[in-house]
Amino acid sequence: MRLRLALPLMILAAWVVMAGAYAVLPLHPNAVHLDRILASPGPGAWLGYDDLGRPLWDRLVAGSRTSLTVALWVVSLSLVAGTLIGSVSGYMGGWADHVVVRVIDVFLAFPGILLAIALAGVLGPGLSNVVIALSVLGWVGFARLARAQILSVKTREHVQAARVLGAGRARIIARHLIPLILAPIVVEASFSVAGTVIAEAGLSFLGLGVQPPAASWGSMIRDGSRFMLVAPHMVLVPGVSLMLVVLSINLAGDQLRDWMDVRTRRG
């Protein structure tokens, strides 16, 4: 497991370090160099320049901060909201549970990316609106998983004992149920990070994410798609970076799921 996790964790660590170092490194992602338009990677520029003469390395680092910021905010908001809604729904049952299930079914009936595009279009472009749009959709997966897990553990003996001793519903959910379902929730969060990074890049590619001159991997791919024949590095640099980050998150999530599953964990 350690060998299979080494490379993905190194890539993810590089992604986080790049995002965190953006504020301290002497980078100029919006600086225009007219004499270096579409310049290929070379000794003076690690990754070359784009169609406006802006350094791709600087913009790649700035884009990593955008993707990480969106992923952390969206996953955090979705995890908290979805876990609370699903836990309360599963524990309470009755009409409240029925309403939540129907709402979840409605959200799942539509392709998530199309709903994200619609919400981002209504709210308008911008980083905060992307976070809102993706969070409105992201809580559904956590709520569905939390509800299913709560239904399987709420009849356990210690939960029944807490109820008999007079513990309130909020205390039972917070102290006796949610700790039992954290493992699958954490695994779901790891895969949700990958989905959020892809969704943010997709919205930025369509012009619904962060706006120029701010950098995003999705907008970098969009700008480079017009120059694929003369400057393929404009697409390859953000495209390969996006692929490596998402693949690393998924591989790390797979290993985390296997490690948390007692049925497959080796002694």
pLDDT tens for residues 104-137? Answer: 998 888 888 888 888 888 888 888 899 999 999 9
Would residue 23 count as lying in a domain? no
Q: pLDDT per residue over 11-46, tens digit each?
A: 999 999 999 988 888 888 999 988 889 988 887 778
The CATH number that applies at residue 251 is 1.10.3720.10
- Give the Å distances, CA to CA, from 59 to 119, 172, 212: 27, 48, 11
Would residue 26 count as lying in a domain? no
- Residue 97 lies in domain: 56-260
Would residue 39 count as lying in a domain? no
pTM, entire model:
0.89
- Collapsing DSSP states into helix, strand and coil, what is residue 114? helix
Would residue 141 count as lying in a domain? yes
Instruction: Give the pLDDT confidence score for residue 252 in this predicted structure.
Output: 87
Q: Is the dihedral of CA 15, 20, 26, 32 positive or negative?
A: positive
> To the nearest 10°, the Cα dihedral for 225, 70, 184, 161?
-160
Average pLDDT of the residues in 70-94: 92
Would residue 230 count as lying in a domain? yes
Q: What are residue 60's phi and psi, to 5 degrees?
A: -65, -45
| Banded model confidence at residue 267, pLDDT cuts 50, 70, 90 | very low
Would residue 66 count as lying in a domain? yes
How far is residue 68's CA from residue 251's CA, in Å, rounded to a whole number? 18
Q: pLDDT per residue over 195-210, tens digit each?
A: 999 999 999 998 888 8
How far is residue 48's CA from residue 73's CA, in Å, rounded to a whole number? 31
Q: Is the dihedral of CA 249, 235, 41, 127 positive or negative?
A: negative
Residue 134 contacts residue 115 (beta carbons within 8 Å): no
Domain total of the chain: 1
Q: Which amino acid is at 93?
A: G
**Non-local CB neighbours of 201 within 8 Å, separated by 6+ positions:** 67, 209, 216, 217, 218, 221, 242
Is pLDDT of 4 > 80?
no
Would residue 167 count as lying in a domain? yes
Residue 61 contacts residue 25 (beta carbons within 8 Å): yes
Instruction: Give the pLDDT confidence score for residue 154 in this predicted structure.
Output: 82
Q: pLDDT per residue over 35-81, tens digit each?
A: 889 988 887 778 999 999 999 999 999 999 999 999 999 999 999 99
How far is residue 219's CA from residue 214's CA, in Å, rounded to a whole number? 9
